């Protein structure tokens, strides 16, 4: 089978989105995912501004919208549940605090996987163990013992990217913590939640509930300040203990929500962090999404950066006739300003949650014209090329080639 061979590490959102566009540009794509299967659940993610156009160009707008949470607005409340402020889904043309396209991370991952599984080889339960580059390609050794050769390798394996550490250096060199921790997990909807997100804030901490498509369930959301935490991001029990400790004494519905902590099937907790790198590529290896430029959930745009970045990266590589030096450089040039605006939004939002102290800087003023201009750059601050003249095929390549490297 013809076409340049590309290996993509990570099957969450950025990886399958890149696989979609690489296949349409004529590449032969393999996606390797260390988890044994798709990881469903997780927090809600949003599509705003130019990201909605990328979804439309993918041909997935109806499918994505059908899988949305159907949230129609949000209330901030006091400890007694009295509404303090309301945000609607129609605010700012559907690009406001509650976006018109809001979907659980796992649901979007499933949509992207189902869209690509007939055209792309997926290998679950395996990971890249070693790689070495030469002038013509990349030799990859997998944890399973398999050895294969590709012309290009792209890491789309998230904030804790193993490929980034392997090729570019240790996490500490690139990860910047914003002083907060977020946690998400699903709970029975015993709270009367009906299409409205509810959030309570107290002394820099927050607790909330958001609706999901399954009306019998809801998604719990927590945040608390933490300059640093000494908890393995894969040690779920230690993370649950940390959450209980940090939310102790929190009012509102917090104790009732936390009562479901041991029964939830999809707990997630991690530091709010960004990835800052001088370059997103080295030779024939590049990075995409959170692995390259995490803006953190406090930007509300991490998924947008991944989807837009996938479109641009595949387009620029194909336009450069798969020359990695040219293609990766053009991808970075197009994305840098867009990424920077979104990372700045997240930094400001993190600062706004800090508890004021005698020596603290004043919180950001979100009412100024400068902030409206920053938001516009963060949502629409990139021109999408149409990549006219490049190969573009959506014809299925045959039956699904999903496999598992381990029994």
pLDDT at 363: 64
Instruction: List the Cα angle 363/366/372 in 5-degree steps.
Output: 145
Q: What is the pLDDT of residues 261-304, one digit of tens each?
A: 999 988 999 889 999 999 999 999 999 999 999 999 889 899 99
**333 inside domain:** yes
> At 164, which CATH number?
3.50.50.60
Strongest mean pLDDT among 175-179, 330-334, 349-353: 330-334
Which residues is 220 bridged to in the sheet? 185, 209
**269 inside domain:** no
pLDDT at 327 over 50: yes
Mean pLDDT of the chain: 91
**36 inside domain:** yes
* Mean pLDDT to the nearest integer, 12-24: 98
**92 inside domain:** no
Q: What is the pLDDT of residues 116-140, one digit of tens each?
A: 999 999 999 999 999 999 999 999 9
Give Cα 90 to chain centroid, integer Å. Answer: 23
**207 inside domain:** no
Strands, DSSP E only, in 242-323?
A: 268-275, 281-282, 285-287
Q: How confident is the model at residue 402 (pLDDT cuts 50, 70, 90)?
A: low
What are the structure tokens assigned to 353, written together?
Answer: 């949650």
Q: What is the pLDDT of residues 191-232, one digit of tens each?
A: 999 999 999 999 889 999 999 989 999 999 999 998 767 677
- For 155, which DSSP code? E
Q: What is the pLDDT of residues 63-111, one digit of tens each?
A: 999 999 989 999 999 999 999 999 998 898 888 888 899 999 999 999 9
Full domain range(s) for residue 145: 5-41+51-68+105-175+275-354+366-381
**194 inside domain:** no
pLDDT above 90 coverage of the chain, percent: 79
Sign of CA dihedral 158, 164, 170, 174: negative
**143 inside domain:** yes
Instruction: State the Cα–Cα distance between residues 82 and 388, nearest whole angstrom.
Output: 53
Instruction: State the Cα–Cα distance between residues 222 and 205, nearest whole angstrom.
Output: 8
Instruction: State the Cα–Cα distance between residues 298 and 271, nearest whole angstrom.
Output: 11
What are the structure tokens assigned to 28, written together?
Answer: 């032969």
- For 298, which DSSP code? G
CA atoms within 13 A on the CB side of 341: 20
Instruction: State the Cα–Cα distance between residues 94 and 105, nearest whole angstrom.
Output: 19
Q: In the chain, how many domains are there?
A: 1
**242 inside domain:** no
- For 90, which DSSP code? T
């Amino acid at each position: 089978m013809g076409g340049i061979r590309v290996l993509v590490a990570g099957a969450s959102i950025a990886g399958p989105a890149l696989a979609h566009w690489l296949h349409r540009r004529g590449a032969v794509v393999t996606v390797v995912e260390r988890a044994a299967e798709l990881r469903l659940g997780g927090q809600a993610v949003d599509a705003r501004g130019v990201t909605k156009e990328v979804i439309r160009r993918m041909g997935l707008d109806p499918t994505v919208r059908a899988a949305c949470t159907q949230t129609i607005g949000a209330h901030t409340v006091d400890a007694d549940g009295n509404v303090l402020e309301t945000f609607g889904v129609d605010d700012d043309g559907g690009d406001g605090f509650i976006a018109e396209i809001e979907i659980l991370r796992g649901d979007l991952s499933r949509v992207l996987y189902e869209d690509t599984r007939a055209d792309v080889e997926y290998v679950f339960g395996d990971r890249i163990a070693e790689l070495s580059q030469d002038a013509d390609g990349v030799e990859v050794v997998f944890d399973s013992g398999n050895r294969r050769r590709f012309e290009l390798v792209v890491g789309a394996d998230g904030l804790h990217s193993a490929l980034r550490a392997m090729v570019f250096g240790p996490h500490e060199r690139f990860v910047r913590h914003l002083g907060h921790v977020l946690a998400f997990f699903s709970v029975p909807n015993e709270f009367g939640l009906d299409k409205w997100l509810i959030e309570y804030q107290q002394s820099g901490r927050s607790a909330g509930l958001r609706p999901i498509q399954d009306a019998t369930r809801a998604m719990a959301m927590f945040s608390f300040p933490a300059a640093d935490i000494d908890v393995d991001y894969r040690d779920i029990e230690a993370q649950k203990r940390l959450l209980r400790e940090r939310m102790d004494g929190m009012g509102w519905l917090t104790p009732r929500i936390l009562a479901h902590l041991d029964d939830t099937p999809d707990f997630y907790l991690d530091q709010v962090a960004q990835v800052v790198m001088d370059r997103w590529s080295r030779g024939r290896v590049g990075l995409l999404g959170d692995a390259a430029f995490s803006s953190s959930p406090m930007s509300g745009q991490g998924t947008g950066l991944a989807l837009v970045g996938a479109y641009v990266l595949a387009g620029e590589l194909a336009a450069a006739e798969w020359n990695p030096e040219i293609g990766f450089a053009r991808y970075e040039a197009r994305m840098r300003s867009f990424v920077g605006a979104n990372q700045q939004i997240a930094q400001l939002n993190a600062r706004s949650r800090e508890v004021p102290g005698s020596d603290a800087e004043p919180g950001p003023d979100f009412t100024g014209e400068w902030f409206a201009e920053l938001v516009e750059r963060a949502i629409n601050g990139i021109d999408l090329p149409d990549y006219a003249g490049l190969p573009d095929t959506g014809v299925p390549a045959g039956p699904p080639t999903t496999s598992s490297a381990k029994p």
